[in-house]
Chains A and B, each alone.
Chain A
Amino acid sequence: MLWTGLSPDEARTYLEEKDKSKRDKRMTMTEAVKRFVKDGDNIGVGGFVNSRQPVAIAHEIIRQGRKDLILSFQSAGLVPDYLLGAMALKPDHLSVQRMEFAYNGHEYAGTSSMLRYMTENEKIFIEDWTNFSMSARFKTASMGLPFMPIRSGQGGDIEKCNRSQVIECPFSKRDILLIPACHPDVGILHVQEADIYGNCRIKGQTFTCPEIAMASKNVIVTCEKLVDHQIIAMDPTRTSIPFFAVDAVVEIPFGCYPTVCHDVHYYDKIHLEHFKGLTDAFRKGDRESLAAYYDTYIFDVADTDEFIGKIPYKQLKYARQTESRSLELQTRLTPPAA
């Protein structure tokens, strides 16, 4: 069996020897990526399509540059596109060798031109899964199991191009699919709230963020807001990820911008569609426009402060004002012009 990331035995041994102390894990984004993201790593990407994508972490990985990365996720849009776009522009600086995933696209805004470019030109190795099988792979790992049976994903062509296996269930005597655990080297997640120790509170859907955190060797968390530990301890049933699963906490408001952060801000459709349009143009031969975007928003800025500083205030405000509000209140707002 090929284990991308850690094998179950390696993951277990690493955790046994890991410092699990309840200590202050705040650090800068630069330091977090420097310490926990290495060449060849399998990266577990948190969020779902264009919701709570760990954009700030992805930008820093792109700035620092890494080689031969593996991306594992169920459904994602912006983060794989950012990383694949960086590889398309500067393959000697950043490269992705493999993706294990169920969906890479933008739903209402269409298919991923970066996925198309990379696969249609045979530049990366891909392994297709389904949303459940990929989510269950993280869950399997989070439970300390090497595999799990699921009743999903067998019978078609997906099982032929991934490492799942169909067996006859020893109890029911019916065919069932076995999926292998996925232990990423590093999980990258954006959440609404965390304390200095790494206890995280996710608002809205958890996607597979808790499972990725428990499955990964190391975890970098960006949070909209750092909260007092007392707040967490007052209502620990609301803790989605416990501190000892987390290695780095970086407070970065708008750390998943322009994707949705439940209860904080809605999409910035203008920025998302702008980037998406540039990737579409790249696939059709216009390299310069995409390269200019990367220079402006990623390479020539030091951090997320400077990235967000380039977004017009009206767009940030509108994304905030359109989140968690009735349609009636939303329709009174004037959308910013693209």
Chain B
Amino acid sequence: MTDYATDFSPGEMIVTAGARQLENNKVIFAGTGLPMVGITLAQLTSGPGIIPVFEAGAVGPTLDRGLPLSVGDSRTTSRANYIQGLNSAFELTQRGFIDIGFIGGAEVDPYGNLNSTMIGDFPQNYMKPVVRLPGSGGAGDMSCSCTYTILIVQHEPRRFVEKLQYCTSMGHMDGSKDARKKAGLQGKGPKRVITTKALMGFDDETKRMKILATMPGETVQSVQDATGFELMVDKDVYEFAPPTQTEIKLIREVIDPTQIFCKR
């Protein structure tokens, strides 16, 4: 019988869920924060062959000098196989070397499009937003060209919206058939959305977001209540298993002992 943890934080749940989505031997484009913790956890558990790539230029490092605080940090280069710069990293992505990209944003819509640019009226108030966010960084590029993406978003009704205030990173666009291909994009788009409340996917036909599993303590109703648009529900929806004792021990003692990203 699996020894599940009873005491874990929302961040630790997200990291565990992220790690469990990663197949061994895949090339993963890593963003700052929880994705780095998730990738490292996967490397230490089910995916020792996972290959992280960082957009500032490091390919295939082992993060044994501590968690990087930035995707451009020198710690991302520890025991790397290949180091160049940003053009090289995104050319690899454009060419098709990157299997999975982790991206996030302040807002997400039913088709997995993301906003990390601005809150306010676009285009009228582009130059005078209500809240200016940092901008795309590499997320817009990863959304275009990674074979598929996994989204991590805080689960609140104001973040899960029917219509974005600004589309920074493309998901399934308007959900129409071949929308991404028509726009000239290459990857298959978002495959999973991970939040503190649910693991979600996208409906094959409509491309709308669909609950695949509820996180421990949540129900389909509580997930829907935290979402600003109507979610589809998979016919085999299940309760996602909590982190195991082993996963929690690795996060707390090995990967993020000083709680840089995974607060308790």
What residues make up the interface of A, taking CB atoms closer than 8 Å to B?
A: 47-51, 74-75, 101-105, 107-109, 111-112, 115-116, 119-122, 125-126, 128-133, 135-136, 139, 150-158, 160-161, 166, 169, 174-177, 204-211, 260, 262-263, 266-267, 269, 323-327, 330
A211→B168 CA distance, assembly (Å)? 25
> Residue on A with the closest CB to B181?
A174
Question: Across the interface, which residues of B come within 8 angstroms of A176, CB to CB?
Answer: 184
Asked if B90 is at the interface of the complex by the 8 Å CB criterion, the answer is yes
CB distance from B25 to the nearest CB of A (A): 24
CB distance from A75 to the nearest CB of B (A): 5
Partner of A156, one of B64, B87, B138, B167: B167
Partner of B184, one of A50, A154, A207, A327: A154
Partner of B74, one of A51, A105, A150, A166: A51
Contact A101 B74 (CB under 8 A): no
Contact B144 A155 (CB under 8 A): yes
Contact B166 A157 (CB under 8 A): yes
What residues make up the interface of B, taking CB atoms closer than 8 Å to A?
A: 32-33, 54-58, 64-66, 69-74, 76-77, 83-87, 90, 93-94, 113, 117-118, 122-123, 126-141, 144-145, 166-170, 173, 180-186, 260-261
Contact B113 A48 (CB under 8 A): no
Question: Across the interface, which residues of B come within 8 angstroms of A126, CB to CB?
Answer: 126-127
Question: Can you name 9 A-B pairs with beta carbons within 8 Å?
Answer: A104-B135, A105-B137, A153-B136, A157-B167, A158-B117, A175-B184, A205-B76, A206-B83, A326-B64
Contact B127 A122 (CB under 8 A): yes
Question: Across the interface, which residues of A come within 8 angstroms of B134, CB to CB?
Answer: 103-105, 111-112, 115
Question: Across the interface, which residues of B come within 8 angstroms of A133, CB to CB?
Answer: 141
> Residue on A with the closest CB to B138?
A131
The secondary structure that dominates the B interface is loop
A210→B102 CA distance, assembly (Å)? 28
CB distance from A2 to the nearest CB of B (A): 16
Given contacts A102-B137, A139-B87, A205-B85, contact A330 B66 (CB under 8 A): yes
CB distance from A154 to the nearest CB of B (A): 6
Given contacts A132-B141, A155-B185, A156-B113, contact A120 B131 (CB under 8 A): yes
> Residue on B with the closest CB to A211?
B87
A114→B32 CA distance, assembly (Å)? 21
A260→B76 CA distance, assembly (Å)? 12
A139→B85 CA distance, assembly (Å)? 11
Question: Across the interface, which residues of B come within 8 angstroms of A211, CB to CB?
Answer: 85, 87
Contact B138 A51 (CB under 8 A): no
Partner of B72, one of A102, A129, A132, A207: A207
Question: Across the interface, which residues of B come within 8 angstroms of A120, CB to CB?
Answer: 128-132
CB distance from B76 to the nearest CB of A (A): 8
Contact A75 B137 (CB under 8 A): yes
CB distance from A254 to the nearest CB of B (A): 15
Question: Across the interface, which residues of A come within 8 angstroms of B71, CB to CB?
Answer: 49, 107
Contact B138 A205 (CB under 8 A): no
A51→B76 CA distance, assembly (Å)? 12
Question: Across the interface, which residues of A come within 8 angstroms of B128, CB to CB?
Answer: 119-122
Contact A152 B90 (CB under 8 A): yes
Question: Across the interface, which residues of B come within 8 angstroms of A326, CB to CB?
Answer: 64-65
Contact B55 A152 (CB under 8 A): no
Contact A323 B64 (CB under 8 A): no
